[in-house]
A and B are shown apart, each in its own frame.
Chain A
Amino acid sequence: MSLRIIVLAKQVPDTRNVGKDAMTAEGTVNRSALPAIFNPEDLNALEQALRLKDAHPGSTVTVLTMGPGRAAEIIREGLYRGADNGYLLTDRAFAGADTLATSYALATAIRKIGDYDLIVGGRQAIDGDTAQVGPQVAEKLGLPQVTYAEEVLNVDESARRITVKRHIDGGVETVEAPLPVVLTVNGSAAPCRPRNAKLVMKYKYALGKQERPAEVAHAELYEKRPYLNIQEWSVADVDGDLSQCGLAGSPTKVKAIQNIVFQAKESKTLSGSDADVEGLMVELLANHTIG
């Protein structure tokens, strides 16, 4: 038996490399100043999916993402590493979604894809660090979930059960769950394989509808080679309920955003000289801060 695997992936601003121009003068985030990257833990998830594909010949890996037109990049990155196809959920109505509206949109798309044994995503995205979308997708699809996964140890095809090693607070756990199941993978799991040169050549010009210029070179090849067209889905394409999408479908609202300004307190500035350091240690000993 082969496995049909869906990988959930997100394009995120690289919040780990925030420069001085990342914030505007008004104190809002300047998204254009941050490079957009493949969410790191989603790459760990992709690797787990690709390993299962290697171990179970005939398996397929489908990348599902949601975002603006440029997020088709995530699907290409998946294809370069061995995914078979992908879908980009893109619609203005999806904008402003909190985790609940996001998981609703992803769940409707997964239902539309229909056939799946395993849904796997990163534990959390670096722009929100919430770790909520995986479990919420599982709930919406009525599936069990295994979060904080470190490694898929085994898939028993006949029993349709999966064995997973996961991290828990202060330890490890091995769990066995029935398929289909939603898995979220830690950043400490195996890193993703690099791009495959052959696949890069094959999919380099794969484009989503929004990325494709009106006058694309060799337009006829996009007819002949359907894999060069990255599938885009709107709310209507996945039969989504508008009231559950985007801002409208988000129970959480942002009341206030505060740029970080620390409350400065009275501080003493010292140099690294012997006299200054000795003076400080003497002072700390005298007031019993250290003993």
Chain B
Amino acid sequence: MNNVFVYCELEGTTVADVSLELLTKGRKLANQLGCQLEAIVAGSGLEGVEKQILPYGVDKVHVFDAPGLFPYTSLPHASILINLFKEEKPQICLMGATVIGRDLGPRVSSALTSGLTADCTALEIGPHEDKRAGKTYENLLYQIRPAFGGNIVATIINPEHRPQMATVREGVMKKEILDANYQGEIIRHDVAKYVPETEYVVKVIDHHVEKAKHNLKGAPIVIAGGYGMGSKENFDMLYELAKELHGEVGASRAAVDAGFCEHDRQIGQTGVTVRPKLYIACGISGQIQHIAGMQDAGIIISVNSDPNAPINAIADYVINGTVEEVIPKMIKYYKKNSK
């Protein structure tokens, strides 16, 4: 009772990275709260799925295995969480801010009238004093996220309602195995007890997932372009530099919106989060949503003609110059000195 729960998302029978990242975070939160970490996994053909989950320090895995549970549809998965949470009364529930998590989370929170905060960039435990009501709360989940188009960072709490629910994007938290031989309890639930037959009304006719075209998320070197790149053609310089440095190209939302770069390369709160050892920001002003997706980079170089660009404040190296001038020089002097 009153434990930390993580909903584990599946593609086929593979647990998504974002869920493993949240298990890692969930373990830390559970330690801080002195409670257990439990995981929920729902799909088809899940024999042995717990082997992917337990090493992250999970004390209990709730397995729901039935033919209609993969591919994911909203109603059966929501019923599982709603009915399980009524029994288990978790204090915290985390899920990925993915298409699935953002479809499922709101539905569950509505049914349980619990609060949900989307796309958190940090989760912490702390107290809260409600001066007006004269009440104090201990060990609340601080759900921290940029808000209002990224102009502010808000800390959201749910003082009275449980579970405290939050979604987090892939890559925001770190994935770390706690103990390869961690021992936890496996509970195989009778799915029919949680999901009435009437919940399988939405049929998936066709489900098609492609392997990612690039490995932006895991790339050690990222060259990112912003609106200041000026054109799609100028992005070609970034691909050339990326090829030389064995990196990947990313983009800010402004550059994607302007059509300079494909959407799947967007870095930031509503895109991919990256932690490369080197991040070269070219013509990126540095909106907070963008910063949220790259601030953990090892070394940050900002190439910008505006010396006051906000990104310069977090950069290790600021090159005051135009991208047209500086990037070809970077390519040139890399080639010259690396041989």
Residues of A at under 8 Å CB distance from B?
A: 13, 15-16, 18, 22-23, 27, 29, 98-100, 103, 126-136, 138-140, 144-148, 163, 167-178, 188, 250-260, 262-272, 274, 276-278, 280-282, 284-285, 289-291
Contacts A138-B107, A139-B111, A267-B318; is A175 near B73 (CB within 8 Å)?
Answer: yes
Query: Residue on B with the closest CB to A131?
Result: B102
CB distance from A146 to the nearest CB of B (A): 7
Question: Could you list 29 A-B pairs, sorted by A, with CB under 8 Å?
Answer: A18-B151, A23-B152, A100-B115, A100-B116, A103-B110, A126-B149, A130-B106, A135-B104, A135-B105, A136-B110, A139-B106, A139-B111, A148-B99, A167-B99, A168-B100, A169-B99, A178-B201, A251-B115, A251-B158, A256-B154, A258-B153, A260-B151, A260-B152, A262-B286, A262-B291, A262-B314, A269-B318, A282-B337, A289-B299
Query: Residue on B with the closest CB to A17?
Result: B149
Contacts A135-B103, A147-B103; is A272 near B325 (CB within 8 Å)?
Answer: yes
What is the CA–CA distance of A278 and B338 in the complex, to the nearest angstrom? 11
A257-B152, A291-B338 known; 13 new pairs, CB 8 Å cut-off, are A127-B149, A132-B116, A135-B110, A138-B74, A144-B74, A171-B207, A171-B208, A173-B206, A175-B73, A176-B202, A178-B201, A254-B156, A272-B322
Query: Residue on A with the closest CB to B202?
Result: A177
Which residues of chain A are within 8 angstroms of B33 by Cβ–Cβ distance?
none
Q: Do A174 and B119 have beta carbons less than 8 Å apart?
A: no
Q: Do B118 and A18 have beta carbons less than 8 Å apart?
A: no
Contacts A140-B110, A144-B74, A175-B204; is A270 near B320 (CB within 8 Å)?
Answer: yes
CB distance from A137 to the nearest CB of B (A): 8
What is the CA–CA distance of A250 and B156 in the complex, to the nearest angstrom? 12
Secondary structure dominating the interface of B = mixed
**Which 3 A-B residue pairings sit nearest by Cβ, starting from the closest?**
A272-B321, A15-B149, A251-B115
CB distance from B336 to the nearest CB of A (A): 7
CB distance from A29 to the nearest CB of B (A): 6
Which residues of chain B are within 8 angstroms of A23 by Cβ–Cβ distance?
151-152
Which residues of chain A are within 8 angstroms of B111 by Cβ–Cβ distance?
139
Q: Do A263 and B210 have beta carbons less than 8 Å apart?
A: no
